[in-house]
Structure 1
Amino acid sequence: MLKMNKMRNKLVAIAMVGALALPLANFVSEDYTAAAASVSKYKVSAQPFSIGGKKSSIGTINKNGSVYIALRNLNTALGLTTNFNKASQIVNVSGNGRTLEINLTNNAITLNGQPISGPPVILQNNTTYLPLRFLLERMGYVISYQNSTKQISIQGIKENELQIQAAEIGADGDGKSLLVYYPVIKGYANEKVQNKINAFLKQESNLHIAEGSKQMEKAVKENNQILATNPKAEVRLPSFDGRFTITYNENGKLSLFVDYYLYMGGAHGITTRVPYSFDLATGDLISLKDAAGNAKYISIINSQIKEQIKSRNLELNAPFNLVGANQEYYLNHDGIVIYFKQNEYTSSAEGIPEFMISYSAFK
């Protein structure tokens, strides 16, 4: 007896932008919770905001250190559009070339057609709330918090004029499961560069899918041997999943990473991160040296990582080995993010350790 193992939702595909002390929040609106019970247990407090330089005070909920807010109070100022389908209980948030959909019945979330992991909503007084940081950082905004004034500032990011959609490759059968999403650029003025990047990302996706399928065949063979001996045996099907995250789309550069999750039927799978940073003038990949723009970039990065390991009190399972010119990285709004493989320096529970080095550190 086969038992399909649904491990896809465990894929880690979240890019952290900055390290603010206050995780912020967003969201939905009055009639958006028709099928859900209204709950009233969280205190709504006035929170000072600066949205595009315009100051205001908006009622918010604080849950576990995260600020939650009704989106109806923000969508006009931010230029976002929200719609609600009562029959399907799906909220649609669109703007800045993005579409975010939230299913209120099961908390399933998609961004431009790709499923993503997200926090649970709060339903209270016929209003749905969702973390503001979660929504806005995925919709093209940067968020900051001032301790002195307790003010949350929201600014739109000036992005490159292009859209990014998700293409899907999926296949279930032959004793295994596969579902990979990869990015497709649309609407970029330089069609030659757009086609070059799209072809490269599609090729890369195919290569990783082929390798993932090869790895899964080992588990399929073992399962078939078990079932040949005992047709009623319960086995777990191996699976291979891929999700991408766009981390930077500014100043003529595009940066992203793809997290591939391979599950072989054991207690846990393993996530492999593959980053890409493109020069949108040529479609070529950008080296770490060029991204840093400083001849001493290696020593700057190593020094910054050492400081962060100490300040974050990270427990390493191996001594830190200095990074080199071929170190994998990606860009975000604030700097260059260096990361290490799962289990390379930290335990599996820590996931993939990331170290953001501010652009200012290279000046």
Structure 2
Amino acid sequence: MPVLPVLVITVVVVADAAGGAGMIWLPLLAAGPALAAATNGTRGVLCVGLLAMAMGAAVGIGHGVPARELVAVLSALPAVTAASGLASALRGRREQVLDAVRSVAEAAQHALLQPVPEMVGPFQVAVRYSAAAAEARIGGDLYALVPTPHGIRLIVGDVRGKGLPAVGTAALVLGVFREAAYDEPDLLAVVGRIERSLARNLGTDDFVTAVVAGHPPSGHLEVVNCGHAPPLLISATGSVGTVEPTHPAPPLGLRALSGQSPHLQRLPFAVGDQLLLYTDGVTEARDHEREFYPLAKGVARHVSDEPARTLTALHDELLAHVGGRLHDDAALLLLRKKTAGEPVPVVPRSGAALQTATSSAHRVTPPA
């Protein structure tokens, strides 16, 4: 129902009747079918055009306008209606094509960033992802969690740049990671496979920061940080710390330039501990006063035994901090090791990775 165009015609007719201005207002009736072209289909445009012509003729006759002058004024309405109908038909066809493209894009996005299960072995998992590009569900940030014979393995990373080139690089990294995570018993070998693939396919100025983590059957946590933001470790008691790399390594794709190799950190991961992996779109989000979002403080405020609830609260607070719209891709992945026999709450799917550590093999520093 073309409510707004009909309202425009009604306002024009009422204004003309109230002012008794004759034909002065009649040309404005063309605004009805023109507006209908933007809001309705071809049938709606034609109906609004016929209504405009009928009302225009009634107003002209009511004011005693000579037939020749009335026809001259109203002759523009059929032309505007025909042009508006054509514009509406073309708009409808473009929308159909766009819908088809969106359905294909959504399928590709779903294949690239595959859903993470709420439970993987003894772990609860939750994910939150927001792409900065309008109408997009993926961008330059990436994440994945893969159950393997060597334990679960996960990655969170950030591709340099934005747009389709960044999406292509993210797809490359995720494809290599999913294959290598299953095949390679050593987590450093997984990172090495990704590094070699990027060295062959990326330009000299391109790179990917990433944290690759794993939980082998031995029960400890393994972390390899390649130039990425350090994970947050949340103990079962709720304390939050930062897992700083003991030997900083360059981002993936830059090893040949730096000559440095990543190192493996082995961390204890007790029941109830959580590990939060994230991208810089979270920590570099600014409010209207240009203040960064304090992620560690936010985690301390919202941490719970339900990773999905924790990330939902963090994501909502992050959007409120930036005023509702992120300007960079942002990913959060939270992992919690649940106790034996602990019931799993039924919550909306989300993603998460959390970790705790207090060993001499790594540094866990309190957030600033």
**TM-score normalised by the chain length of structure 2:** 0.21
When the two structures are superposed, what TM-score results if normalisation uses the length of structure 1?
Answer: 0.22
- Structure richer in helix, relative to its length: 2
- Structure number with higher strand proportion: 1
Q: Which protein is bigger by CA-based radius of gyration?
A: 2
Q: Which protein has greater RCO, CA pairs closer than 8 Å, 6+ apart?
A: 2
